[in-house]
């Protein structure tokens, strides 16, 4: 079906086509906690992991060891960030190569700074996957895409925290990437609630990276609990245990 024609189709038909093409927003887990990664993986809903220096520091364990454990659980992209103390591109490149050598699924996470962009440019040319993080504006996302980033990570929650609209940023980036057919994938980051996930999915973003607590929020609904309780009581009343 031509994409020109697609734009004129009613919403219902578009949804069917999207399902048919199996285009959907993937979920990554935003955590370095091995137990959380195992639990989320058992749900069968996550296909990647993102970490950052704060998340890694929270666990307080050896970076390489943690990454190796993750690669044994998750068969998908795992973002490992260069140290926040690494400031120059040449050092980011060296560190990035070492992160990439840990496992074929590794993605090198770099800050969206001039030095980060330089490192992204070099690493991408070497075929190393990159994730440009701490993206707070459309121009930053565009520069990251132009530098060859595999992924960009715009931070929704931290934008909301300064009374701006985080989801609007995702919408704008998604729209512009689509217009110019840019292959860089959008990882919606800094997700604080299930509403953010709905908003991200509506923009057609590729991925949302979610803390484990939000996955718990997503599955929970008071009417599900209430309904299950009623099913249980009705069943027991007639059939016993």
Residues labelled as active-site residues? 109
Region binding ligand E4P by CB under 6 A among candidate stretches 32-40, 139-147, 153-161, 200-208: 153-161
Q: What is the DSSP string of 169-195?
A: HHHHHHHHHHHTT--PEEEEBS--SHH
What letter does residue 236 receive in the DSSP assignment? H
Pair 111, 123: CB distance under 8 Å: no
Nearer residue to ligand E4P within complex by CB, 160 or 172: 160
Nearer residue to ligand E4P within complex by CB, 50 or 86: 50
Residue 34, Cβ neighbours under 10 Å: how many? 16
Query: If binding is defined by CB under 6 A, does position 158 make contact with ligand E4P?
Result: yes
Among residues 32, 37, 52, 149, which is the contact residue for ligand E4P, using CB under 6 A?
52
Query: If binding is defined by CB under 6 A, does position 31 make contact with ligand E4P?
Result: no
Among residues 37, 48, 50, 89, which is the contact residue for ligand E4P, using CB under 6 A?
50
Nearer residue to ligand E4P within complex by CB, 30 or 90: 30
Among residues 27, 29, 30, 56, which is the contact residue for ligand E4P, using CB under 6 A?
30
SS3 74: coil
SS3 80: strand
Strands, E assignment, the chain: 26-30, 46-50, 78-81, 106-111, 130-135, 151-154, 185-188, 207-210
Q: Which residues bind ligand E4P (CB under 6 A)?
A: 30, 50, 52, 55, 133, 153, 155, 157-158, 189-190, 209
């Amino acid at each position: 079906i031509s994409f020109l024609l697609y734009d004129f189709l009613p919403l219902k038909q578009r949804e069917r086509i999207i399902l048919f093409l199996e285009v959907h927003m993937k979920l990554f887990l935003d955590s370095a906690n091995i137990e959380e990664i195992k639990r989320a993986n058992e749900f069968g809903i996550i296909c990647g992991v993102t970490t950052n220096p704060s998340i890694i520091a929270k666990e307080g364990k050896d970076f390489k060891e943690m990454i190796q454990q993750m690669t044994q659980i998750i068969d998908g992209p795992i973002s490992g960030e260069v140290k926040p103390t690494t400031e120059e591109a040449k050092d980011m490149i060296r560190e990035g190569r070492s992160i990439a050598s840990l496992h074929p699924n590794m993605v090198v996470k770099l800050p969206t700074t001039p030095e980060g962009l330089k490192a992204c440019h070099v690493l991408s040319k070497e075929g190393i996957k990159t994730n440009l993080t701490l993206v707070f504006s459309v121009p930053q996302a565009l520069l990251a895409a132009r530098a060859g980033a595999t992924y960009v990570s715009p931070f929704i929650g931290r934008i909301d925290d300064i009374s701006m609209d985080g989801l609007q940023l995702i919408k704008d980036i998604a729209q512009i990437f689509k217009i110019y057919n840019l292959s860089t994938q959008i990882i919606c980051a800094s997700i604080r609630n299930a509403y953010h996930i709905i908003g991200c999915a509506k923009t057609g973003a590729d991925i949302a990276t979610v803390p484990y607590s939000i996955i718990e929020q997503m599955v929970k609904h008071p009417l599900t609990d209430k309904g299950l309780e009623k099913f249980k009581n009705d069943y027991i009343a007639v059939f016993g245990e």
